[in-house]
Structure 1
């Protein structure tokens, strides 16, 4: 089940990163400030990085341990919170009604992504020794 989740979210995040990247580069280019466009692009980059990670781990981990399931969850939820909160902040700010409640969501998503990477590292060490 976790393998399918990893593949599903990897493919979904990858697809959406392409769509959002094109949307940002073309439709939003003249509507956002340079700083807002940079923030939007950061969300797209991190989303794509983690889409690729989800696909790679789906082919390399068995997900037969709780640790592997938790790191998968950290990557999926972290990507959702990090990238999508950036999109919400940028788009709402550009429309004049910034959704400030999303401000604390972005670092929480980043923290989950960092935890996912640490757990992946720990998983490698655990399997190596």
Structure 2
């Protein structure tokens, strides 16, 4: 797996987290009265950005491990985007409950990515 994939994916997820963060802070804040929903949305944005930065750092340091790449790439998508879907569907009054179990799967993949980084270093 080429380091460019780490950098491209990290930059894309980083850019999207800024966009989603701005959306949450401005547009969503105006239509959501439930502060817990807003906190959940912010959690998705934060975790997306943290892991986007990790992907960039790994790519810029010529790291080349496809297992870690896929754990983070799929983990970010499942974790953060399922949270976005849950929050936005709740706002519409039609909560997509099937997304609930997807969030922890994404979290497990993010944890696995960190575990594989640890194994790589040890």
* Same fold? TM cut 0.5: yes
Question: 1: CA distance between counterparts of 2:62 and 2:86?
Answer: 34
Normalised by the length of structure 2, the TM-score is 0.96
Q: Deviations over 1:100-123 (max 9, x none)?
A: 110000000000000000000110
Larger Rg: 1
Q: Structure 2 residue aligned with 1:95, among 83, 92, 97? A: 92
Once the two structures are overlaid, the 10-residue window that deviates more, 24-33 or 103-112, is 24-33
Question: 2: CA distance between counterparts of 1:61 and 1:111?
Answer: 25
Stretches (4+) displaced over 2 A = none
**1:2: Cα distance to partner?**
3.0
Q: How large is the Cα RMSD of the aligned pairs?
A: 0.9
- Residue aligning to 1:12: 12
In the alignment, structure 1 segments of 5+ residues that lack a partner are none
Question: 2: CA distance between counterparts of 1:72 and 1:115?
Answer: 11
- Residue aligning to 1:59: 60
Question: 2: CA distance between counterparts of 1:108 and 1:55?
Answer: 23
Question: 2: CA distance between counterparts of 1:21 and 1:2?
Answer: 29
Aligned residues: 121
- What pairs with 1:1-129 in structure 2 (closer than 5 Å)? 1-32=1-32, 33-63=34-64, 68-125=65-122
**1:61: Cα distance to partner?**
3.8
